[in-house]
Structure 1
């Protein structure tokens, strides 16, 4: 996409493509050996504790002798595309398009087994 040998400067080419000039010059770095070990252990812990977030993972890793802060653990977890499994907010709210059915047995006294199935409601 970006041609460094073109007559148009790289900054103009980046502007025309709608990308940042910094992304043109950025070269990705490989993860260090320590980060790879840490990521391997984070993956194992995530399989055992899928609900663990970055703080809990940090504490588990520190107990095992890995010295990593929460933000570094969060960065590695994000790089691995791993997410903690937990209940998201507003999952119990009813959908406005769903019909609410009335409870037909509210005023009835149930005094024998299977009474509800033998009645004409």
Structure 2
């Protein structure tokens, strides 16, 4: 049983046992559950929710434009420094289309983007992964997921109150254990995915490494579409009240997404 599966078992275990007792039985550390939301001031939590909603629709909005939107359209009085900090805390990276006349310095790419002009016609050919901020009734958490690009199936996911390389690597290894290895793994250039730990895991499994170009709007589009669906169809409608509630809501939605929700891009059928 993988570590992620053990954590999920704790969530569903008998309420008569304490969290400490359940963790001891399953040989995992209590702190590894990652289910305690992170806190911020009430103002910052409100701002983060506003930013998250607007950024989903306008991912090309940088810090200064978002600050103008919050102040001029919504009536807040906040400065660029605060919004820049919240962008970093939420893991947001502005995306935009690069002019074709622009010649990028190849050394800016940690690894090249391998998906351009390739035909993706089978499962386990390409996986994409990403991390997103999840607003909650009180506080916030992060969620990581891995999607199979051909089928659009969410293969695996996890929630955490930190964006560590160890957490992302654990999710990758657990997914490989369940589904085997893909030919190509695509991610952004976030520090988790460019870490020595994560890269070593990809190389160990002999997976080709593909990374988005910085600022490229469409490179990781499939997982981005999933985030939008999850938030608009589940999270925003009923904000989770605590980490375990978040876990249950995400679990319910992914079961729906993977088995019942029809996807236009694959012929209006579920994954």
Q: Work out which structure has the larger RCO, using CA pairs closer than 8 Å and 6 or more positions apart in sequence.
A: 2
In terms of fraction of residues, the more strand-rich structure is 2
Q: TM-score, normalised on structure 2? A: 0.23
Q: TM-score, normalised on structure 1? A: 0.48
